[in-house]
Structure 1
Amino acid sequence: MYNNILTSQDNGITKITINRPSKLNALNKETIQELHAAFRVANLDTDTKVIIITGSGEKAFVAGADISEFADFSVSEGGNLATKGQELLFDFVANLSTPVIAAVNGFALGGGLELAMAAHFRIASDNAKMGLPEVSLGVIPGYGGTQRLPQLVGKGRAMEMIMTAGMIDANHALQYGLVNHVTAQDELIPLAEKLAGKIMRNSSVAISAAIKAINSGYEDGVNGYKTEIQQFGNCFGTEDFKEGTTAFLEKRRADFPGK
């Protein structure tokens, strides 16, 4: 079905693996299209409660964008590349109603780090290296990196990382708040699955509402508190709310219908 990615679904988790090991899983146009399709399918699948995105092999999550594809682009082509990429993949992932965990194994550079930052949160293997090296090529991050990195690590650290084009290791990323957990490489996917399991015990409808409310706090001209009030109110009309509150009062574990 796909040339550059692998997908599997098991126990409520859809795993999407970028599979271009000879190119260190670099993002080319086709891979971005395939990722969009796979995320879209997973998000519409009622059996999928959590999505895990990772890279194949032990060297790289995604080592960047495929530079050979755009080295000779004009100004308008460059702008179009960023616009389409953000719409198709990066903003699309950030605003999915299904939680997305990025399991960063190895290098996450340029577009790779931007993809990881678009996920709802990140975990990393202890050999992971992260950075936005675009200025070393005479360009800047174009897939949301200049916006999401400061939101996650603060303006000063983001400025330094982008200006120096340097890489940080997994422990620095943890210290910066760029990733939530660091673990051994062979424990990375099991940890992602364990976290997914904790997420799946809760209401998928409420989680979708929380994603919307949290994201709105980072949108220009949008009052995140108002979005929270609206989403909070909407929860009262759901079957999950009735089940969650009834289960609490009856001192039993909730069995959420996801509606």
Structure 2
Amino acid sequence: MSDDLLVTRHGPALHVTFNRPAQRNAMTWAMYDGLLAACDTAESDPDLRVVVLRGAGDDAFVAGTDIAQFTDFTDGDDGVAYERKMAAILDRLESVTVPTIAAINGYCVGAGIALAAVCDLRVATTTARFGVPVARTLGNCLSMNTYSLLVHHLGPGRALDMLLRARLLGADEAHSAGFATELCDPAELTGTVDDLVTRLAGHAPLTMWAAKQAVRRLRLATLPDGDDLVRTVFDSHDFHHGVRSFLDKTPPRWTGR
């Protein structure tokens, strides 16, 4: 497995660490593949009772998908394929049979907030920041599944405010919305998560599994198709210009086409 994703076992918990701190743990395809493999590992060992996700370093949990991977996109169908792949990854993590915890420090944005949203519990430090600022950075959009996750956790008003203004939510706001289950100081993150692991490991596995599955089924019951939205936006001049501007570190000039 790549050093960009570290998978270790500590007692009843499988710890998955996104390990690209210099890139704020931006996700590569290899890291996504490693995450899927970790989900399989968690379900193959009956002694594993919890999965913990966290980012290396102090700056970020995950700061999105590595933008360089978007340079090969040529049309809207590439965007649809990408979002379908992301939906499959998120669904696999969301459907893991044991409880999952996102331990969040620093930036949790783009794909990072989606990964955190499909975890069952989110422990965040007071320095955590949450959002999807693509309206001012890349000019792309999200899948219907990811929009559903944001509305499910934040409500439509706060989700739209975050997306349209391309702003980041602070830890206190994420906690008041119910997205962050618990807040702690950065130095206390490991201990807080360890205490939560101990508590979950002592609970009835099937009871927790049933609760997880019930909430997931309720969210997905009304999920509509959104490929037309993704195809239109990823096929746009603005998106391709936004990717290049992001990589070149130049301000984008949006045209709406």
SS at structure 1 position matched to 2:102: strand
TM-score w.r.t. the length of structure 1 is 0.81
CA offset digits 1:97-152 (Å, max 9, x no partner): 11100011110010011110011121101111110112222111238431111111
Residue 57 of structure 1 is matched in structure 2 by: 57
- Alpha carbons 1:132, 1:141 under 8 Å: kept: no
Residue 239 of structure 1 is matched in structure 2 by: none
Which letter maps to 1:53? Answer: L
Gaps of 5+ in 2: 224-257
Gaps of 5+ in 1: 223-259
Matched length: 221
Change (3 A) 1:99 1:148: same
Residue 31 of structure 1 is matched in structure 2 by: 31
Structure-to-structure mapping, 1:10-89, within 5 angstroms: 10-73=10-73, 74-87=75-88, 89=89
Change (3 A) 1:221 1:116: closer
Deviates more, 1:211-220 or 1:9-18: 211-220
Deviates more, 1:97-106 or 1:193-202: 193-202
Residue 256 of structure 1 is matched in structure 2 by: none
- Alpha carbons 2:50, 2:98 under 8 Å: kept: yes
Q: Distance in 2 between matches of 1:46 and 1:152?
A: 30
Which letter maps to 1:111? Answer: A
CA offset digits 1:199-233 (Å, max 9, x no partner): 111111221122112211112269xxxxxxxxxxx
1:4 matched to 2:10: no
Change (3 A) 1:108 1:144: farther
1:185 matched to 2:180: no
C-alpha displacement of 1:71: 3.3
SS at structure 2 position matched to 1:207: helix
1:207 matched to 2:208: yes
TM-score w.r.t. the length of structure 2 is 0.82
- Alpha carbons 1:114, 1:144 under 8 Å: kept: no
Change (3 A) 1:8 1:26: same
SS at structure 2 position matched to 1:217: helix
Which letter maps to 2:23? Answer: K
Matched residues, percent identical? 29
Spell out structure 1 runs of 4+ moving beyond 6 A. Answer: none
Which has the larger Rg?
1
Residue 110 of structure 2 is matched in structure 1 by: 110
SS at structure 2 position matched to 1:51: strand
CA offset digits 1:144-201 (Å, max 9, x no partner): 4311111111110001111111101111111111101110112112111111211111
